[in-house]
């Protein structure tokens, strides 16, 4: 069966991660995605982070798999003509250009709907298309991680805040983009009208922090807690004998307290007046956390794995990346997909995180090479070979 977005054409004028990753998800869901890059390719193609290889730049492949690729010099006089010729067959236009650049290239929502009135126009930028920072550049490390309050809320008090891992905010925002397009398509089917969809990395970060920020809206913006002072010691992290970390997550701790005491082989703590209730454990939390630190430090992660599971404790190990890619549950869920790459042969890549009962979803192929489908896309848009030659001569493509 086809993917749920089969028959939908997406035109992507975007670079780096968030917006392209949203379009990659749409391709995974069956959409026909055309990626527009400058001649020579976008900057991410040249990014070589740790572990990348010349034959397979996974940093670029992940947010660009399954797309068709064409080159277009947006600054050339006839570039706008090319975009206009592509629009009648385009359902969704996606860009991460800042508002002033959209205006510069004639790619604003108001200008494009002249050529496709029911177009769904998606912009995904650091700070959105409105407000004083609308033209402020911002990667997810800045707009999502730092500006939203996430960065300052993590880590131990007094220690430097932790850095974000690559593309965390981008990939979160990519899910927002793909979901927003699906909803906008549904609305268009019901009303016949397209619309503008405005997404920002900062707003996505604010949504991720919404539980904390809701408290802040009501005046509760206290200091970030230390793990040594967590009011609920059964919702905390502990280090094992082999220097691994365990995360306990028992949000209703009284329900689990008896079996937890059995799991740690300290049944006498269950009736200890200092720890017998949630309130008592909160009052005496530093003392209990100190006791639990010693207990967990006496056994290895492997030993705790069995002991905690036997008592039905809600917990998880802090896994390494290598452990994640070999996790039996992740493998059973198809978290990773194999695909054939023209240079590297068969490779694995992170698959779309959604499963449908009937619709077919998943990675549909590698990222395009620079300009791989330029002629194909232009011919489909009604250009002939003479036109294409002229566009090349004028350095439009």
pLDDT in tens, 376-389: 999 999 999 999 99
Paired tokens of 264: 């740690």
Averaged over 54-83, what is the pLDDT?
90
Q: What percent of the chain has pLDDT over 90?
A: 79
pLDDT at 53 exceeding the cut of 90:
no
pLDDT at 223 exceeding the cut of 90:
no
List the catalytic residues: 170
Q: Which residue in 114, 66, 64 sits closest to 87, CA to CA?
A: 114
Q: Are 83 and 97 in contact (CB under 8 A)?
A: no
CATH no., domain 9-210+333-393: 3.40.50.10540
Please report the pLDDT score of residue 222 as a whole number. 73
Please report the pLDDT score of residue 224 as a whole number. 77
Averaged over 134-156, what is the pLDDT?
91
What sign has the CA pseudo-torsion 35, 38, 43, 46?
positive
DSSP letters, 341-373, are ETTTEEEEEEPPS---SSS--S--SPPPPTTTT
Q: Which residue's entry shows tokens 């790619």?
A: 107
Query: 260 vs 229, 273, 292, CA distance in Å?
Result: 19, 16, 11
CATH no., domain 228-319: 3.30.1540.10
Q: Is the pTM higher than 0.75?
A: yes
64: which residues sit within 8 A by CB, 6+ positions away? 20, 24, 35, 367, 368
Averaged over 334-363, what is the pLDDT?
89
148: which residues sit within 8 A by CB, 6+ positions away? 202, 204, 205, 206, 208, 209
Please report the pLDDT score of residue 50 as a whole number. 62
pLDDT at 89 exceeding the cut of 70:
yes
pLDDT at 51 exceeding the cut of 60:
no
pLDDT at 35 exceeding the cut of 90:
yes
Averaged over 342-363, what is the pLDDT?
88
Q: Which helix (H) or strand (E) holds 387?
A: helix 385-393
Domain ranges in the chain are 9-210+333-393, 228-319
Please report the pLDDT score of residue 52 as a whole number. 57
């Amino acid at each position: 069966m086809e993917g749920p977005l089969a028959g939908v054409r997406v035109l992507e004028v975007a670079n780096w991660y968030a917006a392209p990753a949203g379009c990659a998800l749409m391709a995974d869901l069956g959409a026909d995605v055309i990626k527009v890059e400058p001649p020579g390719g976008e900057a991410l193609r040249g990014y070589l982070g740790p572990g990348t290889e010349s034959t397979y730049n996974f940093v670029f492949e992940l947010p660009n798999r399954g797309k068709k690729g064409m080159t277009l010099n947006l600054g050339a006089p006839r570039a706008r003509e090319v975009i206009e010729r592509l629009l009648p067959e385009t359902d969704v236009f996606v860009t991460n250009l800042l508002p002033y650049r959209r205006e510069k290239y004639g790619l604003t929502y108001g200008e494009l709907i002249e050529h496709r009135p029911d177009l769904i126009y998606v912009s995904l930028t650091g700070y959105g298309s409105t407000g004083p920072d609308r033209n402020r550049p911002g990667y997810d490390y800045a707009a999502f991680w730092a500006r939203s309050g996430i960065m300052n809320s993590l880590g131990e008090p007094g220690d430097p805040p932790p850095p974000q891992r690559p593309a965390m905010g981008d990939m979160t925002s990519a899910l927002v983009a793909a979901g927003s397009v699906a909803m906008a398509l549904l609305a268009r089917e019901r009303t016949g009208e397209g619309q503008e969809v405005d997404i920002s990395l900062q707003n996505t970060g604010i949504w991720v922090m919404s539980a904390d920020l809701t408290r802040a809206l009501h005046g509760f913006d206290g200091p970030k807690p230390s793990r040594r002072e967590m009011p609920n010691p059964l919702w905390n992290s502990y280090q094992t004998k082999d220097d691994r970390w365990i995360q306990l997550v028992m949000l209703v701790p009284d329900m689990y307290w008896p079996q937890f005491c059995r799991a740690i082989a300290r049944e006498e703590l269950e009736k200890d007046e200092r720890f017998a209730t949630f309130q008592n454990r909160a009052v005496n939390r530093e003392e209990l956390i100190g006791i639990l630190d010693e207990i967990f430090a006496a056994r290895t992660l492997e030993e705790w794995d069995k002991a905690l599971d036997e008592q039905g404790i809600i917990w998880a190990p802090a896994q390494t990346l290598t452990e994640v890619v070999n996790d039996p549950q992740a493998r059973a869920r198809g978290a990773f997909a194999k695909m054939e790459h023209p240079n590297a042969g068969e490779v694995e890549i992170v698959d779309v995180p959604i499963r449908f009962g009937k619709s077919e979803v998943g990675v549909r192929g590698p990222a395009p090479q620079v300009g791989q489908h330029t002629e194909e896309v232009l011919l489909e848009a009604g250009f002939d070979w003479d036109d294409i030659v002229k566009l090349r001569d004028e350095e439009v493509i």
